[in-house]
Copies of this chain bind each other. A is one copy, B any other.
Amino acid sequence: MILVLRKDATSEQIKKLKEKITGLGFKIHESTGEERTILGIIGGNVNILQELGIETYPGVEKVIRVLKPYKLVSRDFHPENTVIEINGVRVGGNNFTVIAGPCSVESEEQIIEVAKAVKKAGAHMLRGGAFKPRTSPYSFRGLEKEGIRLLLTAKKETGLPIVTELMDPRDIDLFEEMDVIQIGTRNMQNYRLLTEVGKLNKPVILKRGYAATIEEWLLAAEYIASEGNNKIILCERGVRTFETATRNTMDISAIPLVKELSHLPVIADPSHGTGRWDLVEPMALASLSAGADGLIIEVHNNPFEALSDGPQSLKPKKFGKLMEKIKQLAPLLGKEI
């Protein structure tokens, strides 16, 4: 940690400041330039200094942290790529893994039909929401327990491992037979929930908060890892910006950057990332090309359309075409699918 002192810091202020810091067991490396004095603080847990509010001490202009605040999830700590195995499906390393399925589980017929369609097209896992976080209390919140049951049925029918979202620590027992737990964007900083899934021996997809920095995202992963669960898959799903033409702005550059900073696999969600079906394919291919380890994509039989064989019933077909393109490109990008 580095303290930049104010130009007008008095020698008395500097003296007191140094006494306090050394009194806490830190060493100080002082550097006096023409315009500012700088104190490098060495040793120990600098969190203590931040919690003591050292940036508010008289004479201090700014505090700069030098080290990354996360450890277990850092590539410094674990240089090799983490590869997670889920019932024979591998995520990370040179694997490219595709998770597909409907936003919500709506009925047995729907989930089985979609599961079979995505399996046929080459998807490796099935996603589907049983518990849905909804912006409005008047929207459909999912089939809940019944949704979990239907996902298990789909798993038995197709053999696809299941990915589904957990919103509340009190529901955790219901998820025992689910293969991967998803933590949604709005819960990325629900620390009690992170702590609970950290205690499980089950893979977790941790979506980036829609306004979370990369550092906060990795710290959220650190919460899980610090409880003992290292099976963490990070998922970029778009961040909130001033642009309203897309629901979110996918931060594609976060994919290669996080892969530099961390050993964890990183997948991308172009469905939520754009909010527009017509942009899913280009953004899926962009994610692959930027180094993503996989994708999570919404594929559905829209019941609105289904009533009339509308063009939305082509959705699984479009997904199939996307899978064909992915299979062509992946080998050129060092990925197996």
Contact = CB atoms under 8 A, between A and B. Distances in A.
A167 interface: yes
Interface in A189-230: 189-192, 195, 210-211, 213-216, 219, 222-223, 226
A215 B40 contact: no
Nearest to A54: B304
Interface in A219-269: 219, 222-223, 226, 239-246, 249-257, 260
A5 to B, nearest CB: 10
A312 B56 contact: yes
Interface stretch (A41-49, A90-98, A122-130): A41-49
A279 B253 contact: yes
Given A42-B33, A216-B135, A253-B246, A291 B282 contact: yes
Interface in A155-186: 167-170, 186
Given A31-B29, A136-B219, A285-B289, A311 B58 contact: yes
Nearest to A245: B214
A81 interface: no
A278 B329 CA distance: 22
Contacts of A186: 189-191
A308 interface: yes
Contact of A226 (B64, B137, B251): B137
**Identical chains in the assembly:** 4
A285 B329 CA distance: 11
B58 A310 contact: yes
Contact of A282 (B133, B242, B276, B289): B289
A120 interface: no
Contacts of A107: none
Given A137-B195, A282-B291, 20 more contacts: A2-B2, A7-B76, A31-B31, A31-B40, A33-B42, A45-B138, A47-B138, A47-B139, A51-B139, A52-B304, A53-B312, A56-B312, A167-B192, A168-B192, A213-B245, A246-B254, A253-B274, A253-B279, A288-B289, A329-B332
19 contacts: A52-B303, A53-B305, A58-B310, A137-B191, A186-B189, A186-B191, A187-B190, A211-B242, A239-B249, A240-B242, A245-B254, A245-B257, A246-B253, A246-B254, A246-B257, A252-B252, A253-B273, A286-B287, A289-B289
